[in-house]
């Protein structure tokens, strides 16, 4: 597993958790395909991703903590994360209509030239 790719992904999580959108986007291809954890499907490109996160962070306060990294045979980086979703007052969620909740999920990163080209969420927990 590329140490550089793991470092990029760790920095990406740090920036996401502090709501540093530009800090995340710098690690993504311009035409990145990013999983939409709220509505399903993917958003494509930096501006669509920025809009998605602004909308998401206007509804909930997510935090993700990577706990395990591994690489598949095709060089995809798989990260197990603990996902914590709070309301905008940093309280546990209640009565929400979206599918976001506290749980362990798998994040899948496909890299190209030291940038994320695709991000997927595998939710089997």
pTM of the full structure: 0.87
> What is the percent of the chain where pLDDT is above 90?
69
Domain extent for 70:
3-122
Residue 53 has what pLDDT?
95
Report how far apart, in Å, the C-alpha atoms of 111 and of each of 48, 55, 84, 114 are: 19, 26, 25, 6
Spatial contact of 47 and 28, defined as CB atoms under 8 Å apart? no
Question: Bigger pLDDT: 94 or 82?
Answer: 82
Q: How confident is the model at residue 125 (pLDDT cuts 50, 70, 90)?
A: very low
pLDDT in tens, 13-49: 999 999 999 999 999 999 999 999 888 999 999 999 9
Q: What total number of domains does the chain contain?
A: 1
> What is the percent of the chain where pLDDT is above 70?
90
Nearest Cα neighbor of 34 from 17, 50, 58 is 50
CATH number at residue 95: 3.10.450.50
């Amino acid at each position: 597993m590329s140490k550089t790719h793991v470092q990029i992904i760790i920095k990406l999580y740090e920036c996401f958790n502090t709501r540093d959108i530009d800090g995340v986007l710098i690690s993504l291809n311009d035409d990145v395909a990013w999983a939409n954890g709220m509505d399903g499907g993917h958003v494509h490109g930096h501006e669509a991703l920025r809009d998605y996160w602004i909308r998401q962070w206007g509804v909930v306060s997510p935090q993700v903590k990577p706990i395990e990294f591994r690489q598949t045979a095709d060089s995809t980086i798989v990260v197990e994360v603990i996902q914590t979703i709070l309301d905008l007052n940093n309280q546990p969620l209640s009565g929400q209509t979206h599918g976001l909740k506290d749980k362990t999920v798998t994040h899948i990163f496909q890299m190209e030239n030291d940038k994320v080209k695709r991000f997927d969420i595998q939710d089997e927990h």
